[in-house]
Amino acid sequence: MKAFFIRPINPTKTAYKKSFGFLPTPLGLLQLAGDVLSVEGTEARVVDMEADGMMTVESVVDEATKWDPDVVGITIHATAAQEVSLSLARRIKEQLKDTVLVAGGHHATFTPTETLKGGFDVVVLGEGDGTMVDLVHCLNGKMKLEDVKGIAYYKGGEIRKTKPRPLITNLDTIPVPAFHLVNREKYTFDIFGKGESVACIETSRGCPYACDFCSVTPTWGNKWRNKSVSRIMQEVKLVESLGYRWIFFVDDIFVVFPNIKQREKLFDCMINEGVEVKWIAQMRADITARNPTLIEKAANAGLKVAFLGVESGSEETLKKMHKGLNTSWAEKAVKVLDENGVVVLVGLILGAPYEGLKDMWRTVKFAYKLSDVGADGVQFSIYTPLPGTRVFVDAIKNGKLFTLDWSQFDLLTPVMRTRVHPTLIQLMQFYGNYSFYIRKWVRSKLLKTRVHPRKLALLKNAESYFLKRVPHFLKEIVWSFPVGLARTTMFYVKGGQPSAEKAATITEESSVIVYDDNSKNRYFLIDDK
């Protein structure tokens, strides 16, 4: 049995690839490949269009046709990649009539009807590890499709959904991802130097918080579950042995309050066992600010870059986002990280439906304030209602979306009517990103700002990287940005409300809880070993 997995290209490309030359390994597909390889007699391949910019839909279809797999799995990892995914599915099906086309990922989970009608045979809803293995057993004649939990599929001209699949409670039971199936050299971190390769490792799943814009909780469940220290170390040593220089721990929250002791054990192991690989983690500001000793130990264990989802400089906006943070925690967190020599990247969002221009300007100014206390980078995104979120359902019900062209749902382009005209939001986002870095660079030269020795070399490499890309930035200012504004204006003026039938279907599917979870603690399932 042969399984062929594809990460489709995002038409607008990923923001981090464009800005920082950062492209980590496709962990979701490598994990699924590892899952199916645990079934005896199974082969797997992974094709990554993001990593190979020369690959087209046609060349991927040719690759699939030559290999003649029994099943093709395509991750719709980003809503903006949906059209490319559907095109791949249709064209592969034309060549391989008997091959089963499977879609998974966040977008497919919450738009299964549209995805199935677009050319797929099966949609995996939510967590796909056990589901993919069961689908392999179906192809081997050992199971019936209707007995596979957590899928949507066609039967007799109708779309059917099976019973929800329970969350995986013990993540150590999941097979190790098939890291060997991709070429390390394609997964770069150019901002910190040529030859800097980066692999993804997952140490936990789920999020117990309830930010209104976030698709993580609907996709992975609101129960935070983690792997044991021994399992994490097994994967860390494996990717280090494969030659990767960086690890990106992809957990949406790397540390939660109940697992602080377990993280201390992990950092001790990394230090004591001589792990040399550098790593990146996504952190909450309040947990970071309240645990400076933990952050010191993390830095000693190899933490070099931390991403803080600060989201806004407006206290009122943070409350309405249900972020559970205030701006003072963000300042303290940046200071703690900077004092320990960690490069700090801050994530901020503009254009929430309850924001005005003053709120957005407050956020831009707050970015400057964070820069002055130690933040090294910023990523301004645009508030985007993604399928599966409360705000998406609200936007559909109240006719707030002015386009359902999924390629525009890239977190960099406005798609929703708010209190502020979308082109002003786009201007503010553009200004926020560029002014932050220009201001940071000028101040560093004029004021001779002290930089922690631990991050000095990284920031010098970053400065060199940005200076070399000045022509790219000028092209973006002169050409790409005005074209983007014109495109947004066109979509806004034209409008694009879905039909009543489509709106009802999307609303219903985006409101579904995809997991069967009846455990007592709905927020945490901690393994402190």
For 204-218, 246-260, 388-402, 495-509, which range has the lowest pLDDT when averaged over its residues?
A: 495-509
- Which structure tokens are listed for 2? 């042969």
pLDDT of 320? 97
What is the domain extent for residue 138? 2-161
Q: What is the CATH number of the domain that holds 33?
A: 3.40.50.280
Helix (H) or strand (E) holding 237: helix 229-241
Q: Each residue of 320-357: pLDDT tens digit? A: 999 999 999 999 999 999 999 999 999 999 999 999 99
Judged on CB neighbours under 10 Å (0-12, 13-18, 19+), 519 is: exposed
Q: Specify the pLDDT at position 497.
A: 79
Q: Tens digits of per-residue pLDDT, 386-401?
A: 999 999 999 999 999 9
99, 126, 161 - which closes a domain: 161
Give the pLDDT score at 525.
64
What is the average pLDDT value for the chain, to the nearest integer? 94
For residue 59, pLDDT beyond 90? yes
Instruction: Find the CATH number of the domain harbouring 404.
Output: 3.20.20.70
* Mean pLDDT within 399-409: 93
Please write down the HEC assignment for all residues of 51-115.
Answer: CCCCCCHHHHHHHHHHHCCCEEEEECCCHHHHHHHHHHHHHHHHHCCCCEEEEECHHHHHCHHHH
- 333 touches 283 (CB < 8 A): yes
pLDDT for the residue 502: 87
| For range 79-87, the mean pLDDT | 95
pLDDT above 90 covers what percent of the chain?
A: 86
Share of the chain above pLDDT 70, in %: 96
CB–CB of 343/459 below 8 Å? yes
Residue 17 has pLDDT above 90, yes or no: no
- Could you give the CA distance from residue 444 to residue 457 in angstroms, rounded to a whole number? 15
Exposure letters 174-193 (e unless 16+ CB within 10 A, then b)? bbebbbebbebeebbbbbbb
Confidence category of residue 529, pLDDT binned at 50, 70, 90: low
pLDDT at 516 over 80: no
Is residue 179 a contact partner of residue 242, using CB atoms and an 8 Å limit?
Answer: yes
Q: Which amino acid is at 383?
A: Y
pLDDT in tens, 486-514: 999 999 999 877 888 888 999 899 887 67
Residue 427 in any domain: the answer is yes
Q: What's the sign of the alpha-carbon dihedral 26, 29, 35, 37?
A: negative
- Same domain for 178 and 151: no
What is the C-alpha to C-alpha distance for residues 247 and 254, in angstroms, rounded to an integer?
13
Shared domain for 299 and 371, answered yes or no, is yes
pLDDT band at 217 (very low <50, low <70, confident <90, very high): confident
Neighbour-count burial of 157, counting CB atoms closer than 10 A to its CB (0-12 exposed, 13-18 middle, 19+ buried): exposed
φ, ψ at 104 (rounded to 5°): -145, -175
Q: Are residues 60 and 101 in the same domain?
A: yes
Q: Which residue has the tokens 């009608």?
A: 117
**What confidence score (pLDDT) does residue 124 get?**
97
- 151-155 and 158-161 beta bridge pairing: antiparallel
Provide the pLDDT for residue 396: 93
Residue 94 sits in the same domain as residue 199: no
